[in-house]
Amino acid sequence: MLSISNNYQNNFIKNGGSKKSSYPSFCSNYTETTDVFNPSVKQTKNATFFFRNDLDWNKFCKIILKNHKPEEKLNIVCVPCSDGSEPTSLLLKLMQFEDFRNNVSNFDCIKAYDIDEKQLDIAKSGKIPLFNDNLFASDVLSLALNAGKDFGKTYNVKDGYLELADNLKDKIKYENKDIIDVVKDLPKDEKVVLLARNIFPYIDNYMQVPRMFEALSQLKSGSILAIGDYDKKLPDFENAILKLGYKKSSTENCFIKI
């Protein structure tokens, strides 16, 4: 049983991190890791990692499952997805819930997008670097120690990489696509779970922000939006989300369309 703790923020603080520290996963804070395709080569990697601490993943999954009826299609979109750590985190956590495992017929896959071809190559390889951030060693170690013990053997760990089990490899689909285009093309007649985390400060063209907000405002009632701590660095950002017709949920950085 995957034993990632539910209180990631406290784990982070205990290891010396600041309560308000931000780790954007898009266009900044690169770290060094080993090339998946050539272990002797080092490369840079977006500062993302499994179970990032600015979202309570356990509560987030409960909100998703409570908000979607069994007969409804479960549309989950992650943009940007970087090397796949984030969509994989969500899939592994969802697999712990019986309500999800019993209703997978209405879940096709998590659709994950990024514009960084190198990161997409890593994600598509199915081998995601696991040991990237020492601050989260305890959580990452839990992934390593519990490999092969979760429901239906959902993942394996070898040589510092996490790989989904064969029966789950098609449950995340990766594609190169810009975030604005992704959000504009989301279905308007079905609920959507959108992870668009720590990207708003990096949108190059400021005029795209209103377009992004307009697309978010058109999502169906009951849709879920997850952001990151870094997004809140924008002045009055949370109020702007609320004005789009969203309400705060029971956990930080998660909003529900009214």
d(CA 40, CA 161): 15
3-class secondary structure per residue, the chain: CCCCCCCHHHHHHHCCCCCCCCCCCCCCCCEEEEECCEEEEEEEECCCCCCCCCCCHHHHHHHHHHHCCCCCCCEEEECCCCCCHHHHHHHHHHCCCHHHHCCHHHCCCEEEEECCHHHHHHHHHCCEECCCCHHHHHHHHHHHHCCCCCCCCCEEEECCEEEECHHHHHHEEEEECCHHHHHHCCCCCCCEEEECCCCHHHCCCCCHHHHHHHHHHCCCCCCEEECCHHHHHCCCHHHHHHHCCEEECCCCCEEEEC
Cβ neighbours around 189 below 10 Å, total: 5
pLDDT tens digits along 2-59: 433 333 333 333 333 333 333 333 333 344 555 444 556 554 445 678 888 889 999 9
**Beta strand 110-114 pairing with 172-176:** parallel
List 195's β-bridge partners, or say none. 78, 226
Residues 6+ apart with CB under 8 A from 77: 110, 111, 112, 113, 182, 186, 192, 193, 194, 195
Q: What is the CATH number of domain 8-257?
A: 3.40.50.150
Q: How many angstroms separate the CA atoms of 47 and 136, rounded? A: 12
CB 170 within 8 A of CB 109: yes
Q: Which residues contact 104 (CB under 8 A, 6 or more apart)?
A: none
**Domain residue ranges of the chain, discontinuous segments joined by +:** 8-257
Residue positions counted in the chain: 258
Query: What is the pLDDT, as a whole number, of residue 135?
Result: 47
pLDDT for res 2: 40
> Tens digit of pLDDT per residue, the chain (258 long)?
343 333 333 333 333 333 333 333 333 334 455 544 455 655 444 567 888 888 999 999 999 999 998 889 999 999 999 899 999 999 999 998 988 988 777 899 999 999 989 889 999 998 888 866 544 556 667 777 777 666 567 888 888 889 998 889 999 999 999 988 999 999 999 999 999 998 877 676 667 788 889 999 999 999 999 999 888 888 888 999 999 999 999 999 999 999
